[in-house]
Structure formats: C-alpha cells, structure tokens
Amino acid sequence: MPRIAGVDIPRDKQIWVSLQYIHGIGPALSRRVLESTSVHAETRADDLTEDEVNRLREYIDREFVVEGELRKETSFNIKRLTEIGSYRGHRHRYNLPTRGQRTRTNARTHRGAPKTVAGRGKKRGATKK
C-alpha cells in the first residue's frame, strides 16, 4: 500500500481515485498531479513503481498544502473569524450554515433535531369539515 502525504492510499483502485483519499486533493487536482508527474491515470496503485510513487510524493509535498497542514489552516481561519466577531464567525460558533442558506426550513444537520414548541400545531377543538 503506497504511502503518500502521510496517507495509505488504497491499492486496488486506479491511482487517480486513490489520490483523492488525501485530504485536499479532489478529482481535478488528482488528474493535474498525474499529468505533471507523467504517471498514467488508469494504473492501479499496486502497479506503481517505486520511482513513480516517489515522484508523486515529492510533487504533492512541494506544490500543495494537504492533510494536517490544510486541516490546521482551516481551523485557524475559523478560529480567527470567531475571535474577531464577524457574522461568519457567529454562524460557526452556533453551528449554523455560514453561506447564506435558509434555516427556517432545512439545515437540520446544523441545527440539530427538531425541538417541539408549545402552542404550535393543531388548534384544540377544531373540527374537520
């Protein structure tokens, strides 16, 4: 199992898919990395030579911020927003959507389970017609 950027990438998948297991590398970036290092995209990760693995590892380490550094950078950005008291920082603090989505309906994953409120719903004594 090749180890690139501190991640054991799956050996039974094509290398362009396997590279996406590294945090910070998606489909487009994976293809670009493979073109730059002249590795064929459809080769299985198992079939890579030691030289190809080294080229991939060095190129990714040199050119991109991935895995731990990227996670750290993202968390520092969120922490900075909350400390300066920006609108987005408040949204992050209260686990609400930060990019303008509506929350009156939807946003259940952020807001949590629905809370029942007294006085909402059917009126007592209302008859069906």
pLDDT in tens, 43-84: 999 999 999 999 999 999 999 999 999 999 999 999 999 999
> Which pLDDT does position 105 carry in this prediction?
86
The string of DSSP codes covering 30-50 is: HHHHHHHTT--TTSBGGG--H
CATH of span 3-64: 1.10.8.50
Sheet strands (E) in 1-103: 3-4, 7-8
> Which pLDDT does position 107 carry in this prediction?
84
CATH of span 65-99: 4.10.910
Whole-structure pTM value: 0.75
Domain ranges of the chain: 3-64, 65-99
